[in-house]
Homo-oligomer: A and B are copies of this chain.
Amino acid sequence: MDPKTQARFEALAAVIKAMAHPTRLFVVDQLSSRERCVCELTDLIGADVSTVSKHLAVLKAAGIVASEKRGSRIYYNLRMPCVLSFFGCVESVIKSVARESLGHVE
């Protein structure tokens, strides 16, 4: 693989890896309707605040979300709504795999 191609797929993988976690996907999903502060997300997720904060940092570093400070809170919003279009595709993969494991052959 030539260096340029290598770099391209490394960049792609970095963003996709940032989404590759249940909690972070949940955050993306939640932010698709509206922005949320860390405290709201923490309540919804039910993990330690520090854990949620680190997940948000991962999403932010990848450019998937952005944050805005207002008062004592920090609100996160979804910067790339197009990632949502991916959910449907992935769920079709999941359904297809489920069908097979139930005995469906081809």
Which residues of A are in contact with B by a Cβ distance under 8 Å? 1, 5-6, 9-13, 15-17, 19-26, 29, 44-46, 62-64, 79-80, 82-83, 85-94, 96-97, 100
A37 to B52, CA, bound (A): 42
| Contact across chains for B12 and A44 when beta carbons are under 8 A apart | no
* A26-B5, A85-B85 given; A93·B20 CB < 8 A: no
Contacts of A64 in B (CB 8 A): 93
Q: Is the interface of A mostly helix, strand, loop or mixed?
A: helix
Contacts of A5 in B (CB 8 A): 26
Query: Which among B6, B12, B63, B79 is the interface contact of A87 at CB below 8 angstroms?
Result: B12
